[in-house]
Amino acid sequence: MLSGIIIPFFNKFNFLSPNQKRNFSIFKEIIRLMDTGIHLSEEGFNKIIDPREILNKGKGRKRKYEKDNLNYEKSPETIRQNRQ
């Protein structure tokens, strides 16, 4: 849904603000990585977390979970997807 509907919509109706454009570019990269299934491994998960850290940076925003507090844990869904 994200790569098929949301991203094409915002590609068509662009953002005005440079920060919004930058954030959308980062968001698209994260979705592209997830579409490949890279997030199902610990190394891939970390590749997604790195750009997430600069997404919406500044303006007094605080993340609920900092990068250092995130752990990669295989969920039953992840294990099932890797078996297929």
Mean pLDDT of the chain: 78
Q: What is the pLDDT of residue 61?
A: 65
Helix 18-35 vs helix 42-52: crossing angle, to nearest 10 = 170
What is the rounded CA–CA span in Å between residue 84 and residue 76?
13
pLDDT value at residue 9: 92
Per-residue pLDDT at 59 exceeds 80: no
Domain around 25: 2-83
Q: Is the pLDDT of residue 70 over 80?
A: no
Q: What is the pLDDT of residues 4-42, one digit of tens each?
A: 888 999 999 888 889 889 989 999 999 998 898 888 888
Number of domains forming the structure of the chain:
1
* pTM attached to this predicted model: 0.69
Residue 6, SS3 per DSSP:
helix
Q: What is the largest CA-CA distance in the chain?
A: 43
Q: Would you say 27 and 55 are in contact if contact means Cβ atoms under 8 Å apart? A: yes
Give buried/exposed letters for 59-84 (b at 16+ CB in 10 A, else e).
Answer: eeeeeeeeeeeeeeeeeeebeeeeee
Higher pLDDT, 58 or 14: 14
